[in-house]
Structure 1
């Protein structure tokens, strides 16, 4: 499958105008309720993970933000207001009734990579897109449908450079389209008898276990971290010389689980709201309003960087519904004189539709677990 990484603009960090109000807002985000007295902000928790493995290196030169076109730049507001917006969105999501009696949980997302491509001496920016729909349900086959949606130059200037290069066929980072798992214009069907809802390292949760996860952020964190000792033991075995402290590795792992639960599992509205609050309390995490995804949709976001020049991770939430809009990664701006050095890719995974349905997945004949044919159509 084409590999993907992240996209969109890093928002400036605006200092809170009033420390007392900021502390009160943080208490609401993390605790889910308003307090009369303002507690002392006594430290933060954890954060960040790699959403997927990067395959190969891509040279990126001053890549503009996804969603930064006609929709305009991201809107910056004060941190206090942003945290209040996130708290209100989480509250609305938590109050939503859980759907019952439906046959399948369906998650539909679209991944976008923006990168600079070089062909025949010409370079231009291009967006590579892949759509994925996952169907799963109690006692039902798990079905994943992945479609290559194409790679296209971004702006008029990029299209002009692409034409000067001979208008080559584009497939991600190059023009070799034969080896992709999901070539542009094609769809791959993956059907399995196994339930396997969430598996991340030592953590394995089926659908029932996911729906039973706590709705309180502190209790949710405690439940998830009960799996950490086994995960850390496996990591030390596979990577004996640990470069980072255990707490940093644990925080990355925890952030990744939060992303996976939000976008790929039938977690309840209450649990998803608790995930927002849990992630907002991680070390080096902050809440900013007006962050845009690759399609220009703006929302309130939890941002988390590790302070080592690595890509910043972003969770963008719809202000009104409380539903996730996207998870993203944004590479930091290159230092002066280093604009042409390779950097990590820019990536956005946008949510198109999440929830329970009675619709059945449509799968071509032969694309079942026992099928011998390559299910690429």
Structure 2
């Protein structure tokens, strides 16, 4: 069920059961946002409705739409509703006078969504844009709510600076998230920093090493420049990559070459202690794209990650398998490799995935 939220809307009590049991009903705040965001979110909800009727959607204006209606990219009322919902499904931010830091950035910072998980999914050699790569399975764990994007900055006519700062606590909590994810996978964490130059990277390396002692998980440290090279030369060496906000932003976008397009990559951002979760595609708003040209798969797979968060793993797998099947048949949007005969629109891609689920 989808609602458009008026100003006076009040969130009902949460009605779901967790801890291994399937949800009875969950409430998701849907923030379509800017550019291609509304299109890809529409397809995501369409696909999610094909696997479950246990989600109640509350659609809220954010970004340019919110600026036009209310004068702000993200209203305080919208933020409060997001805090009261069980999860947030976000489209994209950035178009005209709508700046990402005013909506998505504020959500990440105020909800303290410190752990950003970005699976790098290898679909096929045909789609992969890196030569001689046969397979890879990487999970990027990026610290998201601190670091250089959220500290002091200043610019004058001839000088500018941005402060990169981390506390031991901020590093510890995202490191715990990475090691716990590695325990579910192949038991290895590669911590990426610039320890040979940066003071905050020295603290990063020391803190991650201390956290590692609590886990039976392998740990290696790697400089960010080496990691950037190895991602494209030998990606099969990586299991979980743990890194800071700036490095994670760059490396995860680079890793999209392994999947075939940034439009294919999902992400999930968490504050485990406060119970906040936000799901969004890795790609930006791409306002230059015409209607029907966007790739909805990153958003759809983000929705699938949300189902896993809601303890609906079977429903998540249905979506993953349908996406894999569609891609194996050669269907693609314009950002992916493929033939003119199998080129489809945003809406056609969503429909193909939904049909395979059904």
Q: What TM-score results when the alignment is normalised by the length of structure 1?
A: 0.25
Which structure carries more relative contact order (alpha carbon 8 Å, separation 6+)?
Answer: 1
- Structure 1 or 2: larger helix share? 2
Which protein has the larger Cα radius of gyration, Structure 1 or Structure 2? 1
Q: Normalised by the size of structure 2, how large is the TM-score? A: 0.26
